[in-house]
Amino acid sequence: MSATGAKPLGATDEAAAAQAVRQMFDSIAPRYDLLNHVLSANIDRLWWRRAARHFRAILDRPEAAVLDICCGTGDMTMALLKLRPQGAQPVLAADFARAMLARGVRKFGQQARLSETPAGRTMQAPYAVPLEADALHLPLRDASLDLIVTAFGFRNLANYEAGLREFHRVLKPGGQLGILEFSEPGGFLGQVYAVYFHRVLPAIGRAICGKQGPYNYLPASVGRFPAPARMLDLMRATGYSACAWQPYTFGIAGLYTAARPTVL
């Protein structure tokens, strides 16, 4: 199984793959949230919250610098914000598909909100700052982030190894990485799920979205994505420590976690 990266139909190189992914997500942005919730029976909301809770210790720190990369319409960002204290540094919410990011802005806004504390002081409530950016070329300083999280976006990168190296570059020593992604469960459940994922899901997607390509691409992209053991090997090979995978909902999805080693 290839670990190179996403390869939409017709893409001949990494640049073409990235452009095809951007155009695809821009095209389905208006229906993206509806489709996600319908196709997952709202289980996706539980996955985002569970992933965010895994990093509660970092999110509790007001000074922590946090990035949600490939944020899409901002649902993972919202889950992170709910665990940030008042007065905390904003969460950076980045995506290279402008139409998707614009939908996210409507959820979390660009401006700080103020709230009254029991002592009568105004405190800055948690908020997000949108950033139109390519995950493979982040406009961020080296060693500037405490946490990077991505939910169902890493699989769409044109080069997985390059993405991991770029995240490693901008993480501080000791900084943590979380990648929430789909996987293909095994056994009888996996066989049943495969029928839904490869036949039923694309049909529902076409009916709601009116487009064939994006929801044929989804199962194909999951099939190309490295299996958990291979993905963990790739993370270790690109310099991460404490690499682990936690399956969600019988392995339909799972959270990969890792850290940039602390420099001694």
Residue 63 in any domain: the answer is yes
* Residue 131 Ramachandran class (φ > 0 left, ψ -120 to 50 alpha, else beta): beta
> pLDDT tens across 173-184, in order?
999 999 999 998
> pLDDT tens across 46-61, in order?
999 999 999 999 999 9
The residue written with tokens 């090979």 in the block is 237
Coil, helix or strand for 53? helix
Residue 4 in any domain: the answer is no
Tokens of 131: 């950033």
Residue 1 in any domain: the answer is no
pLDDT of residue 186: 81
pLDDT of residue 123: 58
Residue 200 in any domain: the answer is yes
CA 50/CA 36 separation, integer angstroms: 17
pLDDT: is 128 or 36 the higher one? 128
The parent domain of residue 243 ranges over: 14-259
Residue 75 in any domain: the answer is yes
Residue 224 in any domain: the answer is yes
The residue type found at 258 is A
Residue 104 in any domain: the answer is yes
CATH code where residue 72 lies: 3.40.50.150
Q: Give strand pairing partners of 91.
A: 66, 128
> pLDDT-based confidence at 114, cuts 50/70/90?
very low
Indicate the number of domains in the chain.
1
Overall average pLDDT of the 194-204 stretch = 81
> pLDDT tens across 121-144, in order?
555 678 999 999 999 999 999 999
CA-to-CA dists, residue 129 to 46, 49, 78, 136, 175, angstroms: 24, 20, 12, 19, 20
CA-to-CA dists, residue 242 to 120, 157, 167, angstroms: 43, 23, 15
